[in-house]
Amino acid sequence: MANRWRNTLTTADVTPEAMFLNRRQVMAGAAAMGLGLTAAPLRAATGLEPNSYEDITSYNNYYEFGTGKEDPARNAGQLTTDPWTIKIDGLVEKPGDYVLSDLIPQMTTEERIYRFRCVEAWSMVVPWNGFELADLLDLVGVKPEAQYVAFETLYRPEEMPGTRFPVLDWPYREGLRLDEARHPLTLLATGIYGKPMPNQNGAPIRLVVPWKYGFKYIKSITRITLTDKQPKTSWNMANAREYGFYSNVNPQVDHPRWSQATERRIGGGLFARREPTLMFNGYDEVASLYEAMDLRKNF
C-alpha cells in the first residue's frame, strides 16, 4: 500500500479565490480554497497553469447528457444531486448505502492540480478538490480477497437525455485494480477551483486517476463494489480494440484511429501548439505499479 501523500501547508497558506482565478499562485503550487483546507502541489504538475473555470466547465465528455462537447453544460442543469447516496458493497467489511453529506466530513479533503488527458488527444490542467479513494476504502474495510474496485454512474433517463439513446450500455461502468485505487494520486473529487462540482463535470462526486485517460474518470458515482474479478467497463465493452481496461496514458500506443504521441491544450486557441504526450501523463511515481506488465498488450 502506498504511503499517504502529505504536505506541510496550513490555513495560513490559503490563497484568496480572486488570486487563484487570476493564476498568480501556480508557480508556488496549489493552495487551499473554499473551506480553508490544506493542500499541496504535485511535482508532475508544478508550473502548469490551470485551465480557466470556463474551459473546464464548458468543454466536456459526459454522454449521459449528449455526445457533443457543449451538450453537458447545456443539459446537465436538470440533474438532482442532493441528497446523494453511494452504495458500497461486495468484498467490504461495512457494506451499506452511504449518504455523501455524511461521508465527506469523515474524509481528509485537499486541492490538487492534475493534468487531465483525453483519448481524443486534448488536455486540460484542473484544480480538483477531493479526498483520496484509499481513505474511503479504509473507512469501509476491504476484505483480503478483493483485487478490484468497480464503479457505476447514476442512471436516471428522466434527467439524463443522453441515456435515451443506446450510445453505451447504461449505466456507465468503470474499474481499477485495487493497488491503483489505493495509490495516493487517486481521488474522489467533489469540486473544482474550490467550488462544488458542476453537474456537467460529474456532480456531486467523480473519480480522478491522473495517469489514465479521462474516460476512466467516472462521474456522478452511485455505486462502488469491491470484487475479486476484473470488472466490466463501459468503453471496453463497447469497443475492446480501442479502449483497454487499463487505459494508461502511453504515447507509444496509438488509438487505432489517431496518434497519441502529442496533445493539444484546451483553451490555447485554434492554432495551439501540440506538445509531446508524457508517459503516464507525467506521473512517473505510478510506473512501479506496472513493472511486470506489457503496456502495449495491457493498454
Tell me if 248 is assigned to a ligand binding site. Answer: no
Establish whether 86 is an annotated binding residue: no
- How many Å apart are CA 164 and CA 296, to the nearest integer? 35
Contacts 24+ apart (CB under 8 A), 187-190: 187/112, 187/114, 187/128, 187/130, 187/131, 187/132, 187/133, 188/107, 188/130, 188/131, 188/132, 188/133, 188/136, 188/221, 189/128, 189/129, 189/130, 190/104, 190/109, 190/129, 190/130, 190/131
Q: Is 8 annotated as a binding residue?
A: no
The answer to whether 63 is a known ligand-binding residue is yes
Is residue 118 part of an annotated ligand binding site? yes
Question: Cell 512501479, residue?
Answer: 288
Enter the DSSP assignment of 233.
-
State the alpha helices, DSSP H only, in 161-224. Answer: 178-182
The verdict on whether residue 153 carries a ligand-binding annotation is yes
Query: β-strands 96-99, 85-90: how paired?
Result: antiparallel
224 bridge partner residues:
88, 151
Closest of 50, 26, 73 to residue 127, by C-alpha: 50
Distance of alpha carbon 40 from alpha carbon 159, whole angstroms:
36
Q: Are 224 and 239 in contact (CB under 8 A)?
A: no
Q: Is 229 annotated as a binding residue?
A: no
Residue 27 near residue 19 (C-beta atoms within 8 A): no
190 is in an annotated binding site: no
- Whether residue 225 is annotated as binding a ligand: the answer is no
Return the C-alpha torsion angle 148, 40, 282, 121, nearest 10: 80
Cell of 242: 480501442
Q: Is 64 annotated as a binding residue?
A: yes
Task: State the binding site for Mo-molybdopterin.
Answer: 60, 63-64, 118, 153, 201, 206, 217-219
Residue numbering of the annotated binding site: 60, 63-64, 118, 153, 201, 206, 217-219
